[in-house]
Chains A and B, each alone.
Chain A
Amino acid sequence: MIRFEDVSVTYDGAAEPTVRGVDFEVPEGELVLLAGPSGVGKSTVLGAVGGLVPHFTGGTLRGRVTVAGRDTRTHKPRELADVVGTVGQDPLSHFVTDTVEDELAYGMESLGLAPDVMRRRVEETLDLLGLSDLRSRPIATLSGGQQQRVAIGSVLTPHPEVLVLDEPTSALDPAAAEEVLAVLQRLVHDLGTTVLMAEHRLERVIQYADQVVLLPAPGEAPLLGAPADVMAVSPVYPPVVDLGRLAGWSPLPLTIRDARRRAAPLRERLAGREIPDRTPSPSATLPAPPARRPVTSRWRRRRKHPETPPAPTPYAAEVRSLAVRRDRVQALRHVDLTVSPGETVALMGRNGAGKSTLLSALVGLVEPSAGSVRTGDAVPHRTAPRDLVRRVGLVPQEPRDLLYADTVAAECAAADRDAEAAPGTCRALLSDLLPGITDDTHPRDLSEGQRLTLALSVVLTARPPLLLLDEPTRGLDYAAKARLAGILRALAAEGHAIVLATHDVELAAELAHRVVLLAEGEVIADGPAADVVVASPSYAPQVAKVLAPRKWLTVAQVREALA
């Protein structure tokens, strides 16, 4: 169905081809997963299927790509629109119209299908994707998972033979991701649609793949094979494969079910061993207290008389019966949360549960409608930004929002000025966390992981005792994720309190001492990571599922116990 014949792509101005020697064929009706570390050209390969590379992006494509017998050299993307449906990484930039139903119909309108056919297919697709309650909703008011389903639906309605998806589940919570994958599974099985997708979170998708195309490194020829064979040599692999490699299982298990069947001996070996303890070390001390400035805020100046020096709290953050309303929606209700220095807390919950709102309240971006928030000795929404950065730092979902300058050096200098830190503080932090970034690089040219680290260094320049991260692993490959986990663990050991809002159960299992589950703006579970995540099937990490009933969470723990 899709055929790459010795394809290499060189973008304008690049010295080396981005991908080279791509030569494989995707048979009809298969779900093929494109895997590999960041920056190996996965998006380029996907773009070449729909003809967007090179017709839209520019650059030179050598070799030949054919889809359903049509050569992309002679067919523009719009002439392939009836056979290829493409969904990019950001569903929001995919939408042309403003309501769900119109969006589903848009592609068919362009192809000139008859009105009764369009009507039937829109209804079918609404039901297939579970969108019928949202049919007349403006797209801007939908949650991330709903938008992703609308984006998939909008390319499904013209009944393309090939579906190309770039990271379809990255932004979704585990339940929404499963929903989207179930839909893809159904398309492949029932309609014979050919699916080619790239995804970093292999633990979510590997069991659905019929074949895996692995791009091992930039400019290297891809490797095509059965998932188990490819995973045996792949530089990127999900925890279940890691466990399989550790235990020496062959062929490698890809699903929890396969792994459980063979895990009995391993469970026995582990039976007598202690699960490595991961409670925060009591020796952790807070970083040097932030320097107090004489006038802290406009508010305090105005109400000087009743001001008493706030009693020192043992918590880095303290939230008491917090309620927040945003745009007439009760985003949070009656939330209680305390975070101690040296503790790492993972906030989990489905898209729209209020995780980001809680983080925003902790940095004073939203005002509580009831209850109180304190970060150290400050009330965030009443503290001037200049003082607040020394108490709490947030790395937002899109780290790029924090970066303004043209070069890494300028960015670091600005961060030093903002935080009133000694010149060179930020740059030293960055070199510590991620060696090898040159001063004159443009932040835009960094990879996702590098950009995240730069934003993290900018935030850490002010040495805030409380560090917040919103969805830090979006778009990160396993190597970048492991590096981030190492950095955060070191920060926690230094005494930083860390709160991360994340959908990534493996990251939470790796890092968090405590997990707080949110649903509809309320805390529904709060406890040690092992207890909370193991209790819930959608939030349990793969290792916990394989080695249940004991609460092993990560491969690292198992490795340590066996050593």
Chain B
Amino acid sequence: MQPAEPAVPAGSRAAGAARVGAGGTLHAPASAPTPARHQRRGALHPGAWWLWALALGTAATRTTNPLLLALLVAVSAYVVVTRRPHAPWSRSYGAFVKLALAVLLVRLLFTTLLGSPIPGTHTLLTLPEVPLPDWAQGIRLGGRVTAEGLTFALYDAMKLATLLICVGAANALANPSRLLKSLPGALYEMGVAVVVALTFAPNLIADVHRLRAARRLRGRPDRGVRGLLQVGLPVLEGALERSVALAAAMDARGYGRTAQVPARVRRTTAALTLGGLLGVCAGTYGLLTAAGGTYGIPVLLAGVAAAVAGLWLGGRRTVRTRYRPDRWDARAWLVTASGATVAALLLLAAARDPAALHPGVIPLTAPTLPLWPAAAVLVGLLPAFVTPAPDPVSTKEPS
């Protein structure tokens, strides 16, 4: 455990630290942190993590080979374990892994109960079959459970589970609120609303814990559904009060200050945004109907362009600036490229050697690990080496 109150470095205190300089700004004491500390630690662009994880997920959809899928999960898990920051949001990885396991189990359960379209000869067990009326033809309840059917279901479910775990990896590695900060200026206020909502969820959970503990102090059972329901109202009241207090604090700190924009610019912004959205709708309609093949794409493109211009112009109304925006640097390119390479190579492999990526279930054979696709998956480990390590563990200090 770390000491709760870090001692202020003796130097900064003794020096009185702050001296008034030109323009009334504060000067940092001479013992300022070294420049290396000024780098935002683990500051890979959150978008890069998302692209990397989604690319791994795409690769997972190209194969049902359990060994390759397990390798994909291992690769993403390794990167998560070595590179996730010690922050509340990065705990979501465990939740995603549990969800993936649940998907796996549910799929196997359904195959067992409802049977499988895969014909098979290796009968594992026979459940009593429920006779169904004629109109329910094609549906079976109970009956033979074959090894082939179960294996096929397992492979299929593993694909989905891997995809989920990859999304979980992105959630654990990239701070969701930093991703929202990359939104264009005109959408800033919406982004803040989402960030506030994101920080509120953990607070709500903490409130529920605290109030359930308080129920115990009153001599009422602190477990069970009733206990949870009875704290519902106080929790909501608390959340409401906190949001009012937060709104006041945000207002007092300048949230919602807007710049004076000439009326002409305002009108142009509205026209561009509205026109752009209309264009997008019309273009999509054109693309989807047979008759509009010719005008579909150009109208869609024009609509998108107008909408983007509208957003850009709308951004001029906000006076706010950005503190240390995440830069899309070489490391971000490397991380994205490693993910893209995995996806591309597996796409290629799936086209050239489909048998290796989709091991057969009839007849039942043990899957083999195809060498080249496996090597391709390992490229996805690159982020574990090119991104900076997270800060050492930061622990919650009880108050």
What separation, in Å, do the CA atoms of A80 and B256 have in the docked complex?
Answer: 12
What separation, in Å, do the CA atoms of A394 and B210 have in the docked complex?
Answer: 13
Chain B contact patch, size range: 35 or more
Tell which of B137-145, B215-223, B305-313, B333-341 binds the partner: B215-223
Check A78 against B249 for contact (C-beta < 8 Å).
no
**Shortest Cβ distance from residue B24 to the other chain A in the assembled complex, whole angstroms:** 6
What separation, in Å, do the CA atoms of A112 and B222 have in the docked complex?
Answer: 48
Q: Which residues of B contact A98 (CB under 8 A)?
A: 87-88, 175, 177, 195, 198-199
**Chain B 206-240, CB within 8 Å of chain A: the 1/0 string?**
00001101111111111000000010011000000
Judged by a CB distance under 8 angstroms, whether B321 is at the interface is yes
Judged by a CB distance under 8 angstroms, whether A402 is at the interface is yes
Judged by a CB distance under 8 angstroms, whether B133 is at the interface is no
Judged by a CB distance under 8 angstroms, whether B32 is at the interface is yes
Judged by a CB distance under 8 angstroms, whether A82 is at the interface is yes
Check B321 against A96 for contact (C-beta < 8 Å).
no
Check A112 against B217 for contact (C-beta < 8 Å).
no
Q: Which residues of B contact A94 (CB under 8 A)?
A: 245-246, 249
Q: Which residues of A contact B395 (CB under 8 A)?
A: 141, 327-329
| CB contact under 8 A between A158 and B254, given known A98-B177, A354-B398 | yes
Check B398 against A112 for contact (C-beta < 8 Å).
no
| CB contact under 8 A between A121 and B217, given known A78-B252, A96-B253, A404-B230 | no
Q: Which residues of A contact B38 (CB under 8 A)?
A: 123
Q: Which residues of A contact B199 (CB under 8 A)?
A: 95, 97-98, 140
- Closest partner residue, chain A, to B8 (CB atom): A130
**Chain A 109-128, CB within 8 Å of chain B: the 1/0 string?**
11111110011111111011
**In the complex, which of the residues B195, B211, B230, B321 has the most CB atoms of chain A within 10 Å of its own CB atom?**
B321
**Shortest Cβ distance from residue A194 to the other chain B in the assembled complex, whole angstroms:** 13
**In the complex, which of the residues A78, A110, A350 has the most CB atoms of chain B within 10 Å of its own CB atom?**
A110
Q: Which residues of A contact B32 (CB under 8 A)?
A: 123, 127
Judged by a CB distance under 8 angstroms, whether B268 is at the interface is no
Tell which of B11-19, B346-354, B378-386 binds the partner: B11-19
Within 8 A of A (CB), among B242-298: 242, 245-257, 259
| CB contact under 8 A between A418 and B220, given known A111-B254, A113-B321 | yes
Judged by a CB distance under 8 angstroms, whether B362 is at the interface is no
Q: Which residues of B contact A106 (CB under 8 A)?
A: 253
Check A78 against B257 for contact (C-beta < 8 Å).
yes
What separation, in Å, do the CA atoms of A350 and B3 have in the docked complex?
Answer: 9
Chain A count of residues within 8 A CB distance of the other chain = 116
| CB contact under 8 A between A330 and B320, given known A97-B177, A110-B254 | no
What separation, in Å, do the CA atoms of A107 and B323 have in the docked complex?
Answer: 10
Tell which of A256-264, A311-319, A381-389, A483-491 binds the partner: A381-389
Judged by a CB distance under 8 angstroms, whether A152 is at the interface is no
Check A350 against B27 for contact (C-beta < 8 Å).
no
**Shortest Cβ distance from residue A36 to the other chain B in the assembled complex, whole angstroms:** 22
Q: Which residues of A contact B27 (CB under 8 A)?
A: 124
Q: Which residues of B contact A220 (CB under 8 A)?
A: none
Check A127 against B216 for contact (C-beta < 8 Å).
no
Check A52 against B252 for contact (C-beta < 8 Å).
yes
| CB contact under 8 A between A401 and B214, given known A109-B320, A124-B27, A132-B37 | yes
Judged by a CB distance under 8 angstroms, whether B118 is at the interface is no
Tell which of A14-22, A85-93, A275-283, A339-347 binds the partner: A85-93
Check A110 against B216 for contact (C-beta < 8 Å).
no
What separation, in Å, do the CA atoms of A365 and B218 have in the docked complex?
Answer: 12
| CB contact under 8 A between A143 and B5, given known A128-B17, A128-B18, A394-B217 | yes
Judged by a CB distance under 8 angstroms, whether A357 is at the interface is yes
**Shortest Cβ distance from residue B232 to the other chain A in the assembled complex, whole angstroms:** 11
Judged by a CB distance under 8 angstroms, whether A56 is at the interface is yes
Q: What number of residue pairs across chains A and B have CB atoms under 8 A from each other? A: 279
In-complex Cβ contact of B20 among A127, A190, A326 (8 A):
A190
Check A388 against B250 for contact (C-beta < 8 Å).
no
- Closest partner residue, chain B, to A134 (CB atom): B6
Q: Which residues of B contact A245 (CB under 8 A)?
A: none
**In the complex, which of the residues A96, A159, A459 has the most CB atoms of chain B within 10 Å of its own CB atom?**
A96
What separation, in Å, do the CA atoms of A95 and B28 have in the docked complex?
Answer: 25
- Closest partner residue, chain B, to A53 (CB atom): B248
In-complex Cβ contact of A111 among B8, B250, B257 (8 A):
B257
Judged by a CB distance under 8 angstroms, whether B98 is at the interface is no
Judged by a CB distance under 8 angstroms, whether B117 is at the interface is no
**Shortest Cβ distance from residue A557 to the other chain B in the assembled complex, whole angstroms:** 32
What separation, in Å, do the CA atoms of A414 and B219 have in the docked complex?
Answer: 11
Check A118 against B41 for contact (C-beta < 8 Å).
no
Judged by a CB distance under 8 angstroms, whether A54 is at the interface is no
| CB contact under 8 A between A353 and B210, given known A125-B26, A190-B16 | no
| CB contact under 8 A between A141 and B396, given known A191-B18, A415-B218 | yes
| CB contact under 8 A between A93 and B87, given known A109-B320, A327-B396, A394-B217 | no
Check B24 against A191 for contact (C-beta < 8 Å).
yes
Judged by a CB distance under 8 angstroms, whether A227 is at the interface is no
Check B213 against A365 for contact (C-beta < 8 Å).
yes
Judged by a CB distance under 8 angstroms, whether B36 is at the interface is no
Within 8 A of B (CB), among A496-513: none
Judged by a CB distance under 8 angstroms, whether B196 is at the interface is yes
Judged by a CB distance under 8 angstroms, whether B365 is at the interface is no
Within 8 A of B (CB), among A185-222: 186-187, 190-192
| CB contact under 8 A between A356 and B253, given known A88-B248, A118-B321 | no
| CB contact under 8 A between A136 and B249, given known A130-B8, A351-B5, A401-B214 | no
What separation, in Å, do the CA atoms of A267 and B396 have in the docked complex?
Answer: 46
- Closest partner residue, chain B, to A354 (CB atom): B398
**Shortest Cβ distance from residue A347 to the other chain B in the assembled complex, whole angstroms:** 13
Q: Which residues of A contact B5 (CB under 8 A)?
A: 143, 145-146, 173, 175-176, 179, 350-352
| CB contact under 8 A between A78 and B322, given known A144-B399, A389-B219 | no
What separation, in Å, do the CA atoms of A159 and B60 have in the docked complex?
Answer: 52
**Shortest Cβ distance from residue B183 to the other chain A in the assembled complex, whole angstroms:** 13
Judged by a CB distance under 8 angstroms, whether A155 is at the interface is yes
What separation, in Å, do the CA atoms of A505 and B203 have in the docked complex?
Answer: 31
Check A140 against B88 for contact (C-beta < 8 Å).
yes
What separation, in Å, do the CA atoms of A398 and B175 have in the docked complex?
Answer: 32
What separation, in Å, do the CA atoms of A175 and B322 have in the docked complex?
Answer: 35
**Shortest Cβ distance from residue B118 to the other chain A in the assembled complex, whole angstroms:** 46
Q: Which residues of B contact A475 (CB under 8 A)?
A: none
Within 8 A of A (CB), among B1-57: 1, 3-9, 12-13, 16-20, 24-29, 32-33, 37-38, 40-42
Judged by a CB distance under 8 angstroms, whether A364 is at the interface is yes
Listed A/B pairs (27) with beta-carbon separation below 8 Å: A50-B252, A81-B254, A86-B252, A88-B248, A96-B192, A97-B177, A98-B175, A105-B324, A112-B259, A115-B322, A115-B324, A124-B18, A138-B88, A141-B88, A145-B4, A186-B16, A190-B18, A326-B398, A327-B395, A331-B398, A352-B397, A365-B213, A385-B216, A394-B217, A402-B214, A458-B218, A520-B3
Given contacts A331-B398, A351-B397, 10 further A-B pairs with CB under 8 A are A76-B251, A95-B246, A112-B259, A120-B25, A124-B28, A125-B26, A143-B4, A192-B24, A351-B4, A385-B220
Q: Which 6 A-B pairs have the closest CB atoms?
A: A352-B4, A81-B254, A105-B323, A110-B254, A389-B219, A130-B8
A-side residues, CB < 8 A to B, are 50-52, 55-57, 76-82, 84-86, 88, 90, 92-99, 101-102, 105-115, 118-125, 127-128, 130, 132-134, 136-138, 140-146, 154-155, 158-159, 171, 173, 175-176, 179, 182, 186-187, 190-192, 326-331, 350-354, 356-357, 360, 363-365, 384-386, 388-389, 393-394, 396, 398, 401-402, 404, 414-415, 418-419, 458-459, 462, 520-521
B-side residues, CB < 8 A to A, are 1, 3-9, 12-13, 16-20, 24-29, 32-33, 37-38, 40-42, 87-88, 175, 177, 192, 195-196, 198-199, 202-203, 210-211, 213-222, 230, 233-234, 242, 245-257, 259, 319-324, 391, 394-399
